[in-house]
């Protein structure tokens, strides 16, 4: 039997298998299985209860996003007692980057447990990072902040994240590209496209980065900012290779 199966529009969960998978990820068992089930049901796989309540992980993701920021702020404040507010903000921003969160989610096995019906061109890598935030939200509701922070740092952060590499790596690609165009007196611009995804029931943005009217990179995301950053990352790779070839 699969972990989740659909019966009359509602997901039926193999509770024993789900509890086992959840323990592998979090390190604990819980009596509040329903809460965690919701954390792994993506918006595209939503279902509606007889009372009209729609079940998916969006509310838990919203909560988990805020809790993750608080966890990282608390951790970085203790870890780097001499760091400025600006420096800690920059490090935190790099950690909560969608690509990093997705990698962490896959590392702990969220991709094996998440339910979604996404079959479009939507950048699906975001689904796993969002589900990680939903899991953090569920853990906060179930266990409180202190326990959630301890478990996240121990089972996710310390095991799968290279903090030193993140601290040393400046991955604000948009700023890097902007600085390069300023130095070279090139013209930087973006072109945007917004499409409504009927499966996700939300808008998906795409951005095309142009330098002197030539396309250097394209990106997609839940927001213009996210799409810009992906496009800038591709553009920066081209710029770096171009600079190296001139050496």
CA distances from residue 27 to 100, 103, 193 in whole angstroms, order as listed: 22, 19, 43
Within 10 Å of residue 94's Cβ, how many Cβ atoms? 18
**Phi and psi (nearest 5°) for 102?**
-65, -45
Name residues whose C-beta falls within 8 Å of residue 148's C-beta, 6 or more positions apart in sequence.
Answer: 67, 71, 136, 139, 140
Active site residue 61: no
Catalytic residue among 133, 172, 226, 230: 133
Active site residue 17: no
The position carrying tokens 């199966």 is 5
Provide DSSP, the chain.
--SEEEETTEEEE-HHHHHHHHHHHHS---S-HHHHHHHTB-GGG-EE-TTS-EESSHHHHHHHHHHHHHHHHHHHHHH-TT--HHHHHHHHHHHT-HHHHHHHHHHTTGGGT-B----SSS-THHHHHHHHHHHHHHHHHHH-HHHHHHHHIIIIIHHH--HHHHHH----HHHHHHHHHHHHTPPEEEEEEEEEETTTTEEEEEEEEEETTEEEEEEEESSHHHHHHHHHHHHHHHHHHHHHHT-
Catalytic residue among 58, 65, 69, 142: 65
Which residues participate in catalysis according to the annotation? Answer: 65, 133
């Amino acid at each position: 039997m699969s972990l989740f199966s659909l019966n009359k529009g509602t997901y039926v969960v193999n509770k024993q298998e789900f509890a086992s998978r959840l323990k592998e990820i979090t390190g604990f068992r819980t009596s509040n299985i329903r809460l965690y089930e919701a954390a792994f049901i993506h918006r595209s796989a939503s279902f509606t209860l007889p009372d009209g309540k729609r079940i998916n992980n969006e509310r838990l993701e919203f909560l988990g996003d805020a809790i993750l920021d608080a966890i990282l702020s608390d951790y970085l404040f203790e870890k780097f007692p001499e760091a400025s507010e600006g420096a800690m903000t920059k490090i935190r921003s790099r950690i909560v980057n969608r690509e990093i969160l997705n990698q962490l989610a896959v590392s702990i096995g969220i991709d094996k447990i998440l339910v979604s019906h996404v079959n479009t061109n939507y950048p699906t890598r975001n689904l796993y990072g969002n589900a990680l935030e939903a899991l953090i939200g569920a853990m906060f509701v179930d266990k409180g902040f202190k326990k959630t922070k301890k478990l996240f740092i121990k089972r996710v952060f310390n095991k799968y994240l290279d903090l030193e590499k993140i601290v040393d790596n400046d991955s604000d690609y948009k700023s890097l590209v902007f600085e390069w165009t300023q130095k070279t007196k090139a013209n930087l611009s973006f072109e945007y496209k917004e499409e409504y995804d009927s499966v996700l029931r939300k808008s998906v943005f795409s951005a095309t980065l142009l330098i002197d009217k030539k396309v250097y990179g394209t990106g997609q995301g839940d927001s213009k900012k996210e799409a810009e950053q992906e496009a800038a990352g591709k553009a920066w790779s081209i710029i770096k290779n171009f600079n190296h070839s001139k050496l």
